[in-house]
Every structure is written in C-alpha cells, then in structure tokens.
C-alpha cells in the first residue's frame, strides 16, 4: 500500500487505496444484492398471488 501526498499547489489530494477494484468482487456484490432483493420480495409476491387466487375462487362460485 502506497500513499501519495498531494504536492504543494497541485490542488488535488490523493489517498491510499486499501482494497482492490476487482471485477469479481463487484460481480459477487451485485449477485448478493440481487439475491437479497428477491429473497425479501418473494414472500410478498406469494402473498399477492394467494390473494388473487382467492378472489378468483370467490368470483367463480355459482350464485
């Protein structure tokens, strides 16, 4: 790890980077985020489908 200090008058501060910018890490992070989203949304979608099917069953009963 190497830290480069901004030179006088450069106007730009540079900081040490303590992690790599690997594409694999980014892909894994995105995959985990998408998986977590679907895991959280699945129960809501199932509940909605059950509600819709119950409404359809009530409509199809003979009067």
Confidence band for 56, pLDDT divided at 50, 70 and 90: confident
Is the pTM above the cut of 0.85? no
Measured CA to CA, the distance from residue 50 to residue 52 in angstroms comes to 5
CB 3 within 8 Å of CB 15: yes
Give the pLDDT confidence score for residue 39 in this predicted structure.
Answer: 97
d(CA 46, CA 11): 55
What is residue 35's predicted lDDT score, i.e. its pLDDT?
97
Q: How does 29-49 read in b/e, with b if 16+ C-beta sit within 10 Å?
A: eeeeeeeeeeeeeeeeeeeee
Average pLDDT score over residue span 3-7? 53
């Amino acid at each position: 790890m190497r830290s480069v200090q901004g030179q006088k008058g450069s106007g730009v501060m540079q900081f040490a980077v303590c992690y790599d910018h690997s594409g694999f890490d980014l892909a894994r992070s995105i995959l985990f985020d998408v998986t977590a989203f679907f895991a959280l949304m699945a129960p809501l979608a199932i509940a909605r489908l059950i509600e819709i099917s119950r409404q359809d069953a009530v409509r199809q009963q003979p009067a």
